Structure 1
Amino acid sequence: MDTPRPFVPRPEPHYEDEPDPQPEPLDPGEGHRVNAPEPAPLTQHGPARIIAVANQKGGVGKTTSTINLGAALAEYGRKVLLVDFDPQGALSIGLGVQAHELDTTVYNLLMERGVEVEDVIKETGVEGLDLLPSNIDLSAAEVQLVTEVGREQALGRAIKPVLDRYDVVLIDCQPSLGLLTINALACADEILIPLACEFFSLRGVALLMDTIEKVQDRLNPDLKILGILATMFDPRTLHTREVRQRVQEAFGKLVFEAVINRTVRFPETTVAGEPITTWAPHSNGAEAYRMLAREVLAR
């Protein structure tokens, strides 16, 4: 009888002490911008481009991308309004706002007469970056809006009075294709799709594209896809490299050149309650979102 070999556990990779991995060069494909230019300064603000950040799959970096793209745009002199349109309130929490303690949120704006958008907007710690906060109360709006006339345009009507004072409005959508997400798509000019570099995330894009087509046909014919953002990329794994390559092959010039790598920095910023552009301004993550901001402004 053979003597059993002793079990020796494999060491887990220790990413915390490693530098942020640099993304590999991406073949941009025909018509894709390789280098987005530095945006020119503005002499006046507004009217705002409304960009919905949406993907029905959770955990793909929607909230992280909304916060950090907004902060990067503000660095380039743009006035930005972030709309937390997820009942989990992660966007608000990620900017240091205790959402459960708020008296007025986007829910009150949508459902209560007499509440104006100016009453709900809060300044953040980043100059030029404002927040329309949310909390769990918003989950009730999805049920209550069902009986309302023009229910799909509720958000658009609510934010319309302040569009002239901002350059960009970013809407952080919940991870579903329910009435709240439809509201965001109905008032948006463009949609930005964060896509985690994993197989199941790639499979879900077809469903989202089908929803976008229905919104274009029935509610918002001017809605366009701004681009697809590869997130949670780890160049050390074959799987994420293969998924990224498949995304590039499938969507071509729609894919942003900027790639968001998986890094411990992003959870740290959530605890700190501030964007990575101020928490770790010289990190690869901060530079990636600045590059994304340049691409967004150039498109």
Structure 2
Amino acid sequence: MRAASNRIITIANQKGGVGKTTTAINLATALAAIGEEVLIVDLDPQGNASTGLGVDRRDRASSTYDILTNGASVSETAMQTVVPHLSIIPSTMDLLGVELEIAGEKDRIYRLKNAVQADDARRYSYILVDCPPSLNLLTMNAMAAAHSILVPLQCEFFALEGLSQLLETVSRVRDTLNSGLDIQGIVMTMYDARNNLAQQVVEDVRSHLGEKVYRTLIPRNVRVSEAPSYGKPAILYDLKCAGSQAYLQLASEVIQRERSRKAA
């Protein structure tokens, strides 16, 4: 049995540039800052979550590629980051070939699930999976392994169109691969209060999805954009900037939702 407090949250959206990796890094950092043991699983071949947490590409001796192809364990692949209480299983470009390499394997959808549900993953109270911007085998592995999905959604005109496709995929995954999969929440990113369209998009998404949408809005913020180039989460790079403060608020909402779920 998995430890009761262990929660696996997949951060997914098939659209690129919506803030998935930024959300994964900063949400994980905020959770680690209050003493939770947190693990990020970097499933994006670009490896931006790994880079954004200061893990040099030359130091990625083991990675998510080894979990998906060689059956490597969490303890064999996880690395400590610059953030106390936060580890990461890094990504490499080798992930680009995974789909072809394991296409014929019966358990190909459950490779990640097998790893994060093993005994050595119990030490983490939260496992956040950062997905690539596509609905491919990597993302399916993440959805099959997760308890819930957190969806970053950019405040732009086509946001709802992309979201409906993702929600349909989640529904299919629930029916076929993972009956317990739930939507942890929708977080609106790159919000600009001066932009009337951004405000309208937030209102539209909330009218469609109600309480599934977090109250916290993640603003467009230069300091958040700068932080990855220094190999740090924004929360470490500039705690007081608007983006960092928003991610701290988001972490508080995530924790509150988890408490409400347990109490239900």
Consecutive unaligned residues in structure 1, runs of 5 or more: 1-44
What is the rounded CA distance, in whole Å, between the counterparts of 1:125 and 1:112 in structure 2? 27
Match runs of 1:179-190 below 5 Å: 179-190=137-148
Which position in structure 1 is the counterpart of 2:112? 155
Q: Is the 8 A contact 1:189 1:222 kept in 2?
A: yes
Query: Which residue of 1 is the match for residue 61 of structure 2?
Result: 103
Report runs of 4+ in structure 1 exceeding 6 Å deviation: none
Structure 1 residue aligned with 2:180: 222
Larger Rg: 1
Structure 1 residues 137-164: Cα deviation after superposition (integer angstroms, max 9, x where no partner): 1111122221111211110112223331
Partner of 1:119: 76
State, as a whole percentage, how many aligned pairs show the same letter.
42
Q: Does 1:74 align with 2:74?
A: no
Larger displacement relative to structure 2 (143-152 or 289-298):
143-152
Structure 2 portions without partners, runs of 5+: 258-264
What whole-Å deviation, never above 9, does each CA across 1:236-278 have from its counterpart, x for those lacking one? 1111111111111111100001110001112210111111111
Aligned residues: 254
Residues in 2 aligned to 1:100 and 1:212: alpha-carbon distance in whole angstroms: 35
Aligned: 1:133 with 2:96: no
1:96–1:272 Cα contact (<8 Å) kept:
yes
Inter-partner Cα distance in structure 2 for 1:94 and 1:65: 11
**Does the 8 Å CA contact 2:67/2:111 hold for their aligned counterparts?**
no
Change (3 A) 1:197 1:248: same
1:176-230 CA deviation, whole Å, 9 max, x = no partner? Answer: 0111101100010000000000012221111101100000000101000000000
TM-score (norm 2): 0.93
2:167 equivalent among 200, 205, 209: 209
- Please give the alpha-carbon distance, in whole angstroms, between the structure 1 residues aligned to 2:19 and 2:58: 22
Structure 2 residue matching 1:236: 3-state secondary structure: coil
Q: Does 1:50 align with 2:50?
A: no
Shift of 1:47: 4.3
Greater relative CO (CA pairs within 8 A, separation 6+): 1
Deviation (angstroms), 1:97:
1.1
Q: Which one has the bigger helix percentage?
A: 2
Structure 1 residue aligned with 2:156: 198
- What's the RMSD between the two structures over aligned residues? 1.3
Partner of 2:196: 238
Once the two structures are TM-superposed, the CA of residue 99 in structure 1 deviates from its matched residue by 2.5
**How far apart are 1:294 and its partner, in Å?**
0.8
